């Protein structure tokens, strides 16, 4: 098992592991994603994605068999023990092109509160900001009084977000063509490469595998039946 080192300047707990996968594994992931049939993709305004293992839903995720090529990476996450007694059963593949990102959000109660993301192809910068209750009291927004903390996410790295970082902070990726390294980046000492303040990094196509556990699932038996009823 790899040592897990939390980022001390980030909200508890954010863990960054450079070179979690090898260059050959990265090429393998990229080739498998490239071979995915076009109908598997869901096109959103600012990126496209594929759900593997099922589509999470508040009424329960109907479990689907995980592709063989993903099982190695799912097991790598399981073997870390970060999911405690749970096992990963869902993988979200995201494709980000230069200039694409994702709005501030939390992953919420559909998932066991651990995000584990393997990155391939390009770097990005993930932004974390503490949430503040709205006047309604039942929603959350970014708290502008809180400093934004940034994490440089390199290709082949693993980023883990859990505990307070999962529950109390929104995360986002700005829609930029390039990123400037500055004092807001919290994990420079852990990165594979050395970066000086002011360094500009141009983005390219990035593929991320977000590997999680969905607690509420509807399993299939080996005859393709759900809860005792045949699925048609």
- CATH number for the domain spanning 109: value is 2.60.120.590
Question: What phi and psi, each to the nearest 5 degrees, are found at residue 5?
Answer: -115, 115
- Among the listed ranges 11-15, 66-70, 106-110, which one has the minimum average pLDDT value? 11-15
Half-sphere exposure of residue 55: CA atoms within 13 angstroms, side-chain side: 5
The model's pTM: 0.89
Number of domains comprising the chain: 1
pLDDT of residue 21: 98
Q: Determine the Cα–Cα distance for residues 194 and 112; give it in Å rounded to an integer.
A: 34
Q: What is the pLDDT of residues 140-196, one digit of tens each?
A: 676 665 788 999 999 999 999 999 999 999 999 999 999 999 988 999 999 999 999
Q: What is the pLDDT of residues 15-68, one digit of tens each?
A: 999 999 999 999 999 999 999 999 999 999 999 999 999 999 999 999 999 999
Is residue 138 in a domain? Answer: no
Mean pLDDT of the chain: 89
Is residue 228 in a domain? Answer: no
Is residue 141 in a domain? Answer: no
pLDDT of residue 222: 53
Is residue 137 in a domain? Answer: no
Is residue 139 in a domain? Answer: no
Is residue 59 in a domain? Answer: yes
């Amino acid at each position: 098992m790899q040592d897990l080192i939390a980022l001390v300047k980030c909200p508890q707990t954010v863990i960054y592991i450079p070179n979690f996968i090898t260059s050959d594994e990265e090429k393998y992931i990229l080739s498998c994603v490239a071979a995915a049939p076009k109908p598997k993709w869901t096109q959103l305004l600012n990126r496209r994605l594929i759900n593997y293992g099922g589509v999470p839903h508040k009424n329960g995720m109907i479990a689907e068999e995980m592709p063989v090529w993903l099982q190695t990476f799912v097991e790598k996450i399981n073997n870390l023990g970060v999911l405690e007694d749970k096992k990963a059963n869902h993988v979200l593949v995201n494709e980000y092109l230069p200039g694409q990102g994702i709005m501030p959000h939390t992953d919420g109660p559909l998932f066991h509160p651990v995000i584990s993301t393997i990155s391939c192809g390009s770097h990005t910068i993930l932004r974390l900001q503490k949430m503040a209750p709205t006047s309604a009291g039942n929603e959350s927004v970014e708290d502008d009084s809180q400093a934004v903390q940034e994490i440089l996410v390199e290709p082949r790295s693993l980023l883990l977000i859990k505990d307070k970082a999962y529950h109390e902070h929104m995360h986002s990726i700005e829609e930029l063509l390039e990123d400037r390294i500055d004092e807001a980046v919290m994990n420079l000492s852990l990165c594979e490469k050395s970066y000086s303040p002011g360094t500009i990094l141009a983005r390219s196509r990035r593929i991320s595998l977000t590997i999680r556990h969905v607690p509420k699932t509807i399993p299939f038996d080996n005859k393709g039946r759900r809860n005792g009823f045949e699925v048609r």
